[in-house]
Amino acid sequence: MWPLLKKLPPSIVALLLQSLAVVLMLLSINVMGWHDVPFLVAVLCGLLAAMLSFFAGLAMWWLIIQLLFAPALVLMLAIKLPPSLFLGAYLVLLLVYWSTFRTQVPLYLSSNKVWHALEHLLPVAKGDSSFTFIDLGSGLGGVLTHLANVRSDGRYIGVEAAPLPVFLSWLRIKLGNYRNCRVQWGSLWDCDLSQYDVVFAYLSPVPMEKLWHKARTEMRSGTIFISSTFTVLDQAHHETVQVDDLHHSTLFIWHM
């Protein structure tokens, strides 16, 4: 990526390049006499933005967004939907994805098969003693409530940054009457991992190195760190569990 752009989050780079493409296309409208063909201008704008993003080194999915953004905008404006619909959709997306533009960890959910695989990684049940489990970025609380159901000898905590998933998890926990389970709104970087016997994360490649350092510094020996799908470069895991789900998820396990 161009050195100056390298320092910025990909979302900001994409926005800058899309804006540059729009400005260049607006300038060329007069020169080329393209006043009556907004869709053509939008398609060219998309192509230009995608090309600039390619040379800037953005990931493939950003190129697709860049390509489709202006044509989709022109089409949507042509349909003349009420503006409140866009505002509503924007607010829902904002509440679900919140700081994804910064964290680069969007919401997507572990499969039921991952939930089941996790059951076998929990500490062995021992009479009255309990254990603590945290899901870092707990999404809709599916992992927590499933485990709370099948292993009631554990205490399950979720931390989630996005408000709507936190609310839905809270509702799920209340309605399911899970007494050994709670979710808190906040950042996983503010959690003290020394309090947990099992730390689970299903995030993205971006925070893994930093998270590994946090886990190494804070987790007690004898506890386990599990990352679904994303491993830590140069940090050999001790075990893996292959899950036979749609994404062929892998659970990477470190015994601390």
Ligand X SMILES: C[S@@+](CC[C@H](N)C(=O)[O-])C[C@H]1O[C@@H](n2cnc3c(N)ncnc32)[C@H](O)[C@@H]1O
Closest CB 174 distance from ligand X, rounded Å: 19
Closest CB 253 distance from ligand X, rounded Å: 15
Is residue 129 helix, strand or coil? strand
CA 2/CA 183 separation, integer angstroms:
41
Closest CB 115 distance from ligand X, rounded Å: 8
Cβ-based nearer residue to ligand X, 68 or 168: 168
Is residue 236 helix, strand or coil? coil
Is residue 255 helix, strand or coil? strand
Cβ-based nearer residue to ligand X, 46 or 165: 165
Place of tokens 């007069």: 30
The DSSP H or E segment spanning 36 is none
Closest CB 120 distance from ligand X, rounded Å: 16
Binding site for ligand X (CB under 6 A): 103, 105, 107-110, 135, 137-139, 142-143, 159-162, 165, 187-189, 202-203
Closest CB 118 distance from ligand X, rounded Å: 9
Inter-residue contact 132 to 142 (CB < 8 Å): no
Inter-residue contact 173 to 143 (CB < 8 Å): no
Cβ-based nearer residue to ligand X, 45 or 140: 140
Closest CB 125 distance from ligand X, rounded Å: 23
Cβ-based nearer residue to ligand X, 4 or 246: 246
Place of tokens 């960890």: 105
- Return all residues near 250 (Cβ < 8 A) that are at least 6 apart: 228, 229, 231, 240, 241, 242, 243
Cβ-based nearer residue to ligand X, 66 or 110: 110
Cβ-based nearer residue to ligand X, 11 or 28: 11
In the complex, residue closest to ligand X by CB: 137
- Residue 243 DSSP one-character state: -
Cβ-based nearer residue to ligand X, 57 or 205: 205
Closest CB 96 distance from ligand X, rounded Å: 8
Residue 224 phi/psi, 5-degree rounding, is -125, 145
Is residue 159 helix, strand or coil? strand
Enumerate the H helices of the chain as residue ranges. Answer: 3-6, 10-32, 38-55, 60-79, 83-97, 100-103, 112-119, 142-150, 163-175, 208-218
